Structure 1
C-alpha cells in the first residue's frame, strides 16, 4: 500500500497530495529559499513530479521564476507557499510544513555556505547540493 500525504496553502483553497516516499528531505540555507520563506532556513521534501498532484485549486496557483533553476508556486488568495519545481533536478519541493502527517526525517543540509543559522545536528552539510543533482558534492564542517 502506497503512502499518501495531503496538505494545502494557508487558506486551504489549494490542496496538494504526494504519493510514496520523498526522494530526499532536509534543510536548504540558500538565499533564495530564505527570502522566499522569510525564514533563516527552509525545510524541504523532494519528490518526483509524478508523485505530486494538485487536487484542488490549481487555478489559484501563481508562479514566479527568479532563475531557471526554480519555479515557485503559491496561492493567489492567501499568498501561502505550496511548492517549488526544480526542472534541472527533475524534482518538486513540497514544503515540509505543508505535509503535517509526513514523518519529516531530514537527511542533509544544502547550500550551507550561505547559512545565517548554523544547526549543529550531525547531518551532512553540503556546500551546495549533492553531485548527482548537479552540485559539487562538497561537504562543509558543522
Structure 2
C-alpha cells in the first residue's frame, strides 16, 4: 500500500509505502507547541519506505513547508515520522499503540483504549 501526503499549499508532497512500524500520540510541550494543539499523532515508517518532492525546511529535526508552514515529518537515518494529519485520505485505519508524556495530557482527554501509556519517553 502506498499512502500520499502533502502540506496545505501542495508545494511539498510525500509518500510512504507499506504499513507503519508504530503509531503514537505525544503530549509533550515540544509537540504541543509545534502543532498548536494539545498533542500530535504520528506514524513511523522505515526511512527506505519514504519519498518526498518539493523543497522543505527543517528546524530541530522537524520538517515543514517554508511557504505555508505545514508541519509534515521528522526524518532520521533509519526512520520517517509522519504527522498523521498530513496524509491525504482521512480517516486512516491507524490506532495509536502508545501515548507519550501522558502527565501533560489535558484532563478532558481520555487515554486511547489499549494503547500503552508512558509518563515521559519510554526509555526514561
Q: TM-score scaled by structure 1?
A: 0.76
CA positional deviation for 1:129: 3.1
CA positional deviation for 1:78: 0.8
Task: Tell me: CA distance 1:23–1:36, structure 2 relative to 1, closer, same or farther (3 Å).
Answer: same
Q: 1:113 is paired with a residue of what secondary structure?
A: helix
Q: Which runs of 5+ in 1 are unaligned?
A: 66-70, 137-142
1:92 maps to which residue? 80
2:71 maps to which residue? 81
Which is bigger in relative contact order (C-alpha 8 A, separation at least 6)?
Answer: 2
Residues 1:127 and 2:115 aligned together: no
Runs of 4+ in 1 over 3 A off after TM superposition: none
Q: 1:32 is paired with a residue of what secondary structure?
A: helix
User: Which residues in structure 2 correspond to 1:1-142 (within 5 Å)?
Assistant: 3-54=1-52, 56-57=53-54, 60-65=55-60, 71-86=61-76, 90-101=78-89, 102-117=92-107, 118-122=109-113, 123-130=115-122, 135-136=123-124
CA contact (8 A) 2:96 2:112 kept: no
Q: Which runs of 5+ in 2 are unaligned?
A: none
- Distance (Å, rounded) in 1 between the aligned partners of 2:63 and 2:69: 9
